[in-house]
Amino acid sequence: MKGTRTRQSILDRAVDLASVEGLEGLTIGRLAEDLGMSKSGLFAHFGSKEELQLATVEAAQQRFLAEAFLPALKAERGYARLHAICMSWVSYVRRNVFPGGCFFAAASFEFDGRPGLVRNVKAMEEWVAAIERAIVAAQELGELDAEIEPAQLAFELNSLFFGVNFSYQLRRDRKALMRAEKAIETRLEGLRIVKPARRLRSARR
Amino acid sequence: MKGTRTRQSILDRAVDLASVEGLEGLTIGRLAEDLGMSKSGLFAHFGSKEELQLATVEAAQQRFLAEAFLPALKAERGYARLHAICMSWVSYVRRNVFPGGCFFAAASFEFDGRPGLVRNVKAMEEWVAAIERAIVAAQELGELDAEIEPAQLAFELNSLFFGVNFSYQLRRDRKALMRAEKAIETRLEGLRIVKPARRLRSARR
């Protein structure tokens, strides 16, 4: 088996390891030890610690997309999709997609304030932007109060995600998942516009 | 100057350093280098890295209390104090009390998922508990909707604090401070009960 693992299976393990021990601690030596591979075998895949960290962030992003984001796109565009994106995120934490908690939240705080390695900011910004787009779409379709500034609501929803990470991961408080769902539900329901037009039309038929 | 610094001034610098570079990177060697002190001089104050980290967490907690929490206790018990505690927290971030952002949020995520050094959990739990007590007091005084579960509201407010940390510290988004204030205001105002009793009485006089 030694040295024969595929790049993808190596990265899967690297993501798990980094989510538990931090991205900074993810060295080629540490990963080689964990996988029972030779360091030279790993060097053939990744030339440096930097490259390994970059590839790991990229792999984590792929896993996040597949597990937390893409499933929500099955919901109809508008309020339903915005709601699905938020709930899908809570479900992703509940399913322990990353063994050490949200990879991006942890990495964000790990490099928070430090110069250098803050590549994961991009992943987080894309995530916040995706929530904002879903809010704008729901507003354009007349399914969400147009008075609320999309960036404000996105900030509030994203804050709940950080809150879950803290309470669930660090305090092992399973209730945090329910609390986040309740808060999302309350906030979104308060801004929801149930369109009467379609109902009236179908009533007339 | 060498070796003559007081324990408190050493710890002040240790807190700043740890808030920027992480608690794990705070070694006696690193701190000695930063302070221009000898390692043996620092060993006289702290016997080990562990002891230094513990003392640094304790010093950070003292600074947090003095800057973010105690000022809010001047507000009248009840809704006013709950409101003041939340706003005082936002102000504490705005004033960059810790140069690398909220010490406790960063340290929480740094040790999130890792066994061992999670002492700062205690500081965070005390903080969440303090918010919960303020909520309960406001409810008991009839100034806040008694229907809302204190732990639920505390979770939501604390989530906003994490949201600010992320957006302000990592994305350098100054609007995050205003957004948090707006979200706190909206949420608390929606639950506020303005007692009519006292007003009626003074009108009768």
ipTM here: 0.81
Q: Which residues pair with A105 in a beta bridge?
A: none
- Structure tokens belonging to residue A180: 């986040």
Residues contacting residue A111 through CB under 8 Å, at least 6 positions apart:
A23, A117, A118, A120, B170
- B118 in contact with chain A, both atoms CB, cutoff 8 A: yes
Quote the CA–CA distance of B192 and A158 in Å, as a whole number: 25
Q: Output B58 or B189, whichever has higher pLDDT.
A: B189
Measured CA angle at A124 (ends A122, A128), to 5 deg: 115
Quote the CA–CA distance of A189 and A187 in Å, as a whole number: 6
- B177 in contact with chain A, both atoms CB, cutoff 8 A: no
- When pLDDT is averaged across residues B34-41 and rounded to a whole number, the result is 90
pLDDT, residue A202, reads: 54
Interface probe, candidates B86, B90, B166, chain A, greatest A C-beta count within 10 A: B166
Structure confidence by residue, pLDDT tens digits, A100-126? 777 776 666 565 555 445 455 577 778
Range with the poorest average pLDDT among A7-16, A112-121, B130-139, B184-193: A112-121
Residue A169 has pLDDT above 70, yes or no: yes
CA distances from B188 to A185, A187, B69, B110, B185 (A): 17, 13, 18, 31, 5
- B122 in contact with chain A, both atoms CB, cutoff 8 A: no
Q: Do A100 and B112 touch (CB under 8 A)?
A: yes
Angle, nearest 10°, between helix axes B49-64 and B7-21? 90
Let me know if B70 is exposed, middle or buried by CB neighbors in 10 A (0-12, 13-18, 19+): exposed
Can you tell me whether residue A29 is helix, strand or coil?
helix
pLDDT, residue A21, reads: 81
How many contacts (CB atoms, under 8 Å) link A and B?
Answer: 141
Can you tell me whether residue A64 is helix, strand or coil?
helix
Structure confidence by residue, pLDDT tens digits, A126-153? 888 999 999 999 999 999 999 999 999 9
Quote the CA–CA distance of B129 and B34 in Å, as a whole number: 36
CB atoms within 10 A of CB B133: 15
pLDDT, residue A118, reads: 47
Q: How many residues does chain B have?
A: 205
| Multiple choice CATH, B7-194, 1.10.357.10, 3.30.390.30, 3.40.50.150, 3.30.450.40 | 1.10.357.10
Which residues of chain B make contact with A171, given a CB cutoff of 8 A?
121, 124-125
Interface probe, candidates A21, A131, A155, chain B, greatest B C-beta count within 10 A: A155
First to last CA, chain B: 68
Nearest to A98 by CA among A172, A190, A14, A3: A14
pLDDT, residue B187, reads: 97
Q: Output B133 or B195, whichever has higher pLDDT.
A: B133
pLDDT, residue A115, reads: 47
Are B178 and A151 in contact by the 8 Å Cβ rule? The answer is no
Residue with tokens 């009519």: B196
Are A112 and B100 in contact by the 8 Å Cβ rule? The answer is yes
Q: Output B106 or A147, whichever has higher pLDDT.
A: A147
pLDDT, residue B78, reads: 97
Can you tell me whether residue B1 is helix, strand or coil?
coil
Q: What is the DSSP code string of A114-178?
A: -SS--THHHHHHHHHHHHHHHHHHHHHTT-B-TTS-HHHHHHHHHHHHHHHIIIIIIS--THHHH
Quote the CA–CA distance of A136 and A31 in Å, as a whole number: 42
Structure confidence by residue, pLDDT tens digits, A3-53? 457 889 999 999 999 888 878 788 899 999 999 989 998 998 898 888 898
pLDDT, residue A3, reads: 46
Structure confidence by residue, pLDDT tens digits, B78-100? 999 999 999 999 999 899 899 87
Are A168 and A176 in contact by the 8 Å Cβ rule? The answer is yes
- Structure tokens belonging to residue B150: 């204190």
Q: Which fold has domain A7-195?
A: Tetracycline Repressor; domain 2 (1.10.357)
pLDDT, residue A204, reads: 53
Quote the CA–CA distance of B165 and B100 in Å, as a whole number: 10
Are A43 and A30 in contact by the 8 Å Cβ rule? The answer is no
Residue B186 has pLDDT above 90, yes or no: yes
Domain spans in chain B, listed from the N-terminal domain onward: 7-194
Q: Do A108 and B170 touch (CB under 8 A)?
A: yes
Interface probe, candidates B24, B26, B109, chain A, greatest A C-beta count within 10 A: B109
pLDDT, residue B200, reads: 55
pLDDT, residue A203, reads: 53
Nearest to A179 by CA among A163, A191, A190: A163
* Percent helix / strand / coil, chain B, rounded to 5: 70, 0, 25
- Structure tokens belonging to residue A67: 């597990």
